[in-house]
Structure 1
Amino acid sequence: MSDSEDITVIEKFIDSLHDEIMERTNINQSVINMDTNNTGSEMSEFESESDIGQDPWQYQKMSNREENLGLKNPILIQKLISSSIGIVKDLGATRTGHLMVVCFDKHQFNQLSKLKQLGQWSVNVFQPKSLNTTKGCIYNVSLDIDETDLQEILEKQQVSRLQRLTYYDKNTKTRVPSKTLKLFFNTAELPPRVLIGFKSHKTKLFVPKPTQCFKCQGFGHMQRECRNSVKCVRCGEDHKDRECKIKAKCANCNGDHPATSKDCPKKIENEKILKQVCKEKCSVKEARTHVLKESKQNPLQGKKENIPKEHEKISLTKGLFQQLTEFDNFILLLIMTTIQVPTLPDNVQKVSVVANMVLELLGVHVNQEYILDKLTLIN
């Protein structure tokens, strides 16, 4: 196999990978905000109902049937809780009027679980629903399968409900059903796979896109909740003009792009925060602290280079191929397609050449020792 044939094999593989992830990209960009809007009504000091940390047993919600405890005097609420179970780690309120209490230890958690009266109010203490549920996506589910049949099959696999996602078709200029399903599980952990007919589908954690305000262009809230001044989406000035011709300047980061740009560092930062929340089941506050700390340690992380148009497909693959498989296994697959390069005498040089090729194509460094170990086992 010649060098040109080797490169052609890799390019064909990347092309097929690119086509497969295009549908996923369209779906994620067009429908995930819908879920954010559905959960946004619970946002408060705790940011959302899914405000759960690395020790989920710490978190309890408290409510009263007749009155919104979250709207009562916070100092009085704190005194009553402290006198009942001692000082708690954190205390806040959701917009539905519930209290969110974070305990220091399991003993305090158990005390709170048994609490029936808080001052003059009878209370119901329960764990947030999100502690025992999770959301995921599966791909390539045939459009010919009826959703009623899917629901019947999947409910026996801890799926409470499902939703077939849609994407915007540029040709018909309408939203059309996709082969992707969003699944709501009655389990705290995301099952690795679900079975539909003769096919086992790998699940992927569902991560919502950041909510962005159309008024101030900030993240984390919507226009109807915004108390900030109006900012132009294009130039960041104090006006709202859809036909603005002023040079682009982001209202969030002062960069030379509109506030809605997918390359905005602030948007990328918020995407990482939401991913951390879903992955680690931590609060938005904890996730933000983690992401900002990581950004300080790796200041170049999250910054995007200006990539020529001819390399857009490779750039897209770089950002999304991890949705399909683990990184090292993906690289191993590339190695296997080019292992017979006749001009290279041994595996060490072959791995080195292909690693450089991957770095050039995808901008990613390869763990060469890992690949060599795998090739030794194969050979």
Structure 2
Amino acid sequence: MKKQLFLLLVAILAISISSTYAQLTPRPVTCLSADALHPIPGNPYTYEVNVPTPPGTKEYLWFVTQDPNFIAAGTLTTNRETVPSSTVVAATGTGYNDPTTGTSQLSLTWKSFAYNPANPVFVVIQVKNTSSAGDACVSQNMKVYKIQPLNAFTLDIANQDASQVTQAGYGTNIPRCIHDIVTSTYVPESAPGAGDDGVLMDFGQDILYYEVVAANWSEAWRPSIQLTGVDPLEHVTVEFSNNAAWTTPVTMTDAGGGLYTTTATVTPASGTFVGSAGQSIFIRVTLDHSDGVNPSYMGLTDEAITLAVDGMTVPSTGTGVGDVHTVAGGTPSTCPWVDGFANDVAVQTLKARPDIISNTGMPVLPFLPVRP
């Protein structure tokens, strides 16, 4: 009976965690005009040809290459992309690089990569007329598409409450109650008449949680964080995790000026790419109000803390790309707009604790000072 009760509780907990951490929905980039020659990573595209003449049986050979010499001395290039080793192709449809199963159309899904005019990516289709009819010859021809991928790598952020439940509004300001005082202890004078007695206070710590969903990327990406509005008396720790259970947190490096960076990367939970459905990471900001040595942050006024997130893809070869906003912007306005810390922003406000002011005596008599 006890075992059955235990299993029931485990099942309920699993359901609770699953519902609590339902993934944030990415917002699409609305200003992009994607097509098969300008693809968005992670989405399938169909490439199709029509060969009306001459009559005869056709053999279709599709392949992707970065070799500009498609045929040399009558021989096809052997430098053809294969999955999963390819750095540009995420998935191929039936008939890829196989004339025995190839047809007049092919599905390709692309990885996230930066277009390099000096080293373009090509989709090649070679068609052979393998049997003649009437006066038709056994012959072949070739056509080539050039691929210029669109950067649709996006980040979206949302606040989580103290229970780590993601809130609606993509970062809309939410109120948070500041932590109760943990300890308050009288500290006597170091010597009679020294006048250095007081009350040693520990104002506790608050932890702010966020969810960030990244869409349309492949291989890996790296986050960075910008914090503003934090009082200089507070001691800050910033971490991120690939999972909502926080089993493998990564502590980010304080680079100064509210910037937090990392050398760690985020990789797909499965496969080699993440499409428009996205994949989330979770951010945790710990604000320690007292360290027992330096002056404490008392929190006597509301503290609005702004967290902005930025990201850069980390391909195994080539150059990474920054995340873009959902609409055109910048100066001059462009699409896609690599927006840095400008738009993926969340605000949480720690509400003030009571500000107690002495009104005893005339003139007013002071409280014991707060230590340290």
State TM-score, norm by structure 2: 0.22
Larger strand proportion of the pair: 2
Q: Which has the higher contact order (CA 8 A, sep 6+)?
A: 2
Larger helix proportion of the pair: 1
Larger Rg: 2
State TM-score, norm by structure 1: 0.22
